[in-house]
Amino acid sequence: MDIVTRDAHTISRRQISENALKVLYRLSKSGYKAYLVGGGVRDILLGMEPKDFDVVTNATPEEIKKLFRNSRLVGRRFRLAHIVFGRDVIEVATFRGHHGETDDKISKSNAEGRLLRDNVYGEIDEDAERRDFTINALYYDISDYSIHSYGGGIRDLDDRTIRLIGDPETRYREDPVRMLRAVRFATKLDMSIESKTAEPINALAPLLKDIPAARMYEEVLKLFFAGKAKANYDMMRDFGLFQPLFPQISALIKEQPNGNTAKMLNAVMTNTDLRVSQDKPVTPAFFYAALLWYPLKQRADDIALESGLSHYDAHVAAMGDVMEQQCRTISIPRRFSTPAKDIWQLQLRLERSQGTRAFKLLEHPKFRAAYDLLLLRGEAEGGNIGKIATWWKSFVEADETERSDIAKSSNKKGPSRNRNAHQRKRRRPKPKSDNSGSSEVKPTNKG
């Protein structure tokens, strides 16, 4: 352990949030040890603005709760205290200790070595050894403003190296999400993953399948919604980490490495990063709708072939199948999965609504997201979808007078309208179409 005194580092209390300082000082004045730890220390030393300020102490969660009336205890796997200041939450953890002959009530792991419960308390040295990467084993001591660096954390910060503390395979088995964290820190901080830390990842990547889907949802947000989506996606592909999270997408890319699915993935990741850099909103509903579009299309084709359902009915049936399968690895909340299905359903209407019907579609609350997906499809596929996307682009970007002219012109010679008319002509001779289940189904707004 190295101690960097106040005069030898650049951290100032002005760079630490007022609420974090309140927590640190109250713990210290009450006789407890108190440190700012991890990302908050790391980011300040790198000249970045920290997103969170986490505190670690030798006070137990129950003692912390007694000390702060505005606190609540959370977590089963790791027992933590959240000190609430309005919308600002300071997370306070008790020093972790090493596992020994402990009771199952405080510590438990499964057959693969993954920690299921871990409420073993110890001292700061033990806590540092239990942290994942050396660059996160940095402790700012509020009592004398020094930094305690463990495992060469300061050196690795200077060398821009991501290094695990302890045996990499053991640490990944304890918590497979550490493999995703290694990737995320490498791209976020523009660092390289040390060779011993990187070596076991490909072999251990399948362990991610055992992580609860709800936890994985939060990890995906960190990976793809912070401005490094494309870099994280590329590195995850290299390490075999993308397939356990998105098996349907990975299967299609494996079949056609340069196909429409791969093109869509690259476009979505690049566009997401662009929107983040421009401070534009990004939403999981559109993200998952775009990523899963081609798995949905394939599943709809399979259902239509197997069951004889119409294209529309097969599309609707496939939406539930594809979303359900994705939620087995990443739990997508209904507030996002439902609008994602709306975006999918609107694709069919966009494909056949050139002309005056386009005006009504413009009023749909999910039109813009569906339109953006159509443009991505047009870039990936070209052909007829490319022509439809180009028509919609000209229609959306036109003024009111121009839109009327474009719509009227499309009513006469639009490619989608003519194609549908031809299909209707071919169906006319069929008797009893009302009872056959094969007549055209009008799209609805139901998800």
Residue 411: the pLDDT is 66
Start-to-end Cα distance in the chain: 56
Would you say how long the chain is, in residues?
447
User: Three-state SS for 38?
Assistant: coil
DSSP 115: E
What share of residues in the chain are helix, strand, coil (percent, to 5)? 60, 10, 30
- One of 52, 125, 321, 372 is an active-site residue; which one? 52
Could you tell me the pTM of the whole model?
A: 0.82
For the record, the structure tokens of 44 come out as: 């300040």
**In the structure, how many helices (H) and strands (E) does the chain have?**
24, 12
Interval 71-99: pLDDT, tens: 999 987 678 999 999 999 999 999 987 65
Q: Is 54 designated active site? A: yes
Residue 226 is which amino acid?
A: A
**Residue among 43, 118, 127, 132 flagged as catalytic:** 132
Mean pLDDT per block of 10 residues along the chain (447 residues) reads 91 94 96 95 94 94 94 85 94 82 46 53 90 95 95 95 96 96 97 97 96 95 97 98 97 95 97 96 96 97 92 94 97 96 95 83 94 96 94 91 84 49 42 36 38
Q: What is the DSSP letter of 164?
A: B
How far is residue 326's CA from residue 73's CA, in Å, rounded to a whole number? Answer: 31
Question: How far from 205 is each of 235, 241, 444, CA to CA, in Å?
Answer: 13, 5, 41
Cα(40)–Cα(91) distance, integer angstroms? 12
pLDDT recorded at residue 352: 85
104 carries an active-site annotation? no
pLDDT at 186: 97
> How many CB atoms within 10 Å of residue 125?
14
Bridge partners, residue 141, by sequence:
35
Dist CA 19 CA 129 (whole Å): 27
pLDDT number for residue 412: 61
The pLDDT score that the predictor gives to residue 413 is 55
According to the model, what pLDDT value does residue 446 have?
37
Q: Are 78 and 131 in contact (CB under 8 A)?
A: no
Beta strands in 152-262 (DSSP E): 161-162, 192-193
What is the torsion angle, in degrees rounded to the nearest 10, for the CA atoms of residue 160, residue 161, residue 162 and residue 163? -140
Q: Identify the structural domains of the chain with CATH numbers, from first to last.
A: 1-159 (3.30.460.10), 283-420 (1.10.3090.10)
The residue from 43, 54, 156, 342 that is catalytic is 54
Annotated catalytic residue 132: yes
